[in-house]
Amino acid sequence: MTTKTYTPQPIDTTGVELPEELNALVEQMSKNVHEVWSETRIRQGWTYGPQRDDTLKTHPCLVPYEELPESEKEYDRATSIGTLKLILKLGFRIVN
C-alpha cells in the first residue's frame, strides 16, 4: 500500500479585508453552514446527545445555531469568512 502525503495549499487571503457591511452576511452564512451540517448528520442517522459518540451517532451540536456554544459559532464564522475572502480575492464583487 502506498502512502500519499497531502499538503494543503489554500489560496492566501490574509491581505483581504471584509467590508463591515458583510458582517450580517457572515452571520447568515454561518447559520446556514451549521444548518447544512446538521441536516447532513441527521440524514446519516445522527441525533442530539450531550457528548459526541461516533458509535451511537450522537453529537452535542445538533441544536439550533442560536443554542451553540460561542466556540462552535466561531468555527462556522471562520468558514464563512474564509469563503467570502476567497470570493473577493478571486476578483468577484459582492453586491446587495
- Ramachandran region of residue 39, left (φ > 0), alpha (ψ -120 to 50) or beta? alpha
Phi/psi of residue 47, nearest 5 degrees: -135, 170
Other Cβ atoms less than 10 A from the Cβ of 89: the count is 14
> Would you list the DSSP string of 51-82?
S-BTTTTEETT-S-GGGS-HHHHHHHHHHHHH
Per-residue pLDDT of the chain (96 residues; tens, 9 = 90+): 678 999 999 999 999 999 999 999 999 999 999 999 999 999 999 999 999 999 999 999 999 999 999 999 999 999 999 999 999 999 999 988
